[in-house]
Amino acid sequence: MNIHNIISEVEKVDPEIYDRLSPRRKVIQQFAKLSGKLALSAVPLALGSLFSKAYGRGTTGTILEVLQYALTLEYLEAEFYTKAVQSGIVPAGAPTGAFTTIRDHENAHVAFLKTAITASGGTPIAKPTFDFSAGNGSNNGPFKDVFTNYTLLLAVAQTFEDTGVRAYKGRAVELMANNDVLTAALQIHSVEARHAAHIRYMRRNLLSNTTIKPWITGKDTGGIGAAVQASYNGEDLTTQATINIVNINGKSISADAASEAFDEPLTDTAVLAIVDPFIV
């Protein structure tokens, strides 16, 4: 097979392929140069991975791209909860019940998005390989104990859920052309928020820490720390549409409450930077 031909074939169908691949454009150029030197058998796999990342990281905002982006995040969550339930470190009873419920929802989201993508004329991206240590494939990243340390497991779960909520919120506008897809995305979005609230409540009780609430206060990570700060930056907004929420209309609304009352979106660029260490 000839990789130059493949990309040029894709270009005929998808003229924006190079823009779509733009964060990786240099890689592609290098890839194209190197491809002649690569073992032929390695090419399909590498190409698949390249395209997966590209479509999971859309920049031009078509509905299909947003769906692929969502699918990438749902793959991440689904596999995370599957491994969490299998790990044996989640206590029996309510904790395992909650993880199982969430796992099933994430799997349902994967299935739903695949169906939606196919129905929209696309091909669902393949599931990436994940490294839940956040080690970019080394399996030796900052969360390397995630499936042996229950406290850490909950911390990563919280981060995934809160990030997921922000991710859907950040791209809803791009779905406005299709009411059905927009509504479905909103329906997934609020389920992720329910998950986030429950995981946060689990952490509150496990750690006996009343500063951890089902909602996000300021840009507080809930004691997780700098490793996940990017998932919370910007959540401390207390002005909405130029209206200051703190003590609005003479009501006693603290800055904490004002920030908690509104969840903030994240751009795809920010989300992809956050999940990048988890994707091999």
5 forms part of the interface with other proteins (CB under 8 A): no
37 binds other proteins (CB under 8 A): no
Q: Which residues pair with 130 in a beta bridge?
A: 279
Rounded least distance, CB 73 to other proteins, Å: 13
CB closer to other proteins out of 140 and 183: 183
Torsion of CA 139, 143, 145, 148, to 10 degrees: -110
Question: What is the closest distance, in whole angstroms, from the C-beta atom of residue 71 to other proteins in the complex?
Answer: 13
Binding window for other proteins (CB under 8 A); candidates: 25-33, 36-44, 150-158, 236-244: 236-244
214 binds other proteins (CB under 8 A): yes
Residue 66 binds to other proteins (criterion: CB under 8 A): no
Between 145 and 180, name the residue whose CB sits nearer to other proteins: 180
Is residue 193 close enough to count as binding other proteins by CB under 8 A?
yes
Query: Counting contacts by CB under 8 A, is residue 241 touching other proteins?
Result: yes
With CB under 8 A as the contact rule, the residue among 119, 261, 273, 280 that binds other proteins is 261
If binding means CB under 8 A, how many residues of this protein chain bind other proteins?
60
Residue 103 is a binding residue for other proteins (CB under 8 A): no
Q: Using an 8 Å Cβ cutoff, are 143 and 150 in contact?
A: no
Question: Which position among 118, 129, 151, 187 is part of the footprint of other proteins (CB under 8 A)?
Answer: 187
The answer to the question of residue 73 lying near other proteins (CB under 8 A) is no
User: Residue 42 or residue 111: which is nearer to other proteins going by CB?
Assistant: 111
Sign of the Cα pseudo-torsion (209, 214, 215, 221, in order): positive
- Site of interaction with other proteins (CB under 8 A): 94, 97-98, 101-102, 104-109, 111-112, 165, 168-169, 172-173, 176, 179, 182-184, 186-198, 201, 210, 213-215, 240-241, 243, 245, 248-254, 257-258, 260-265
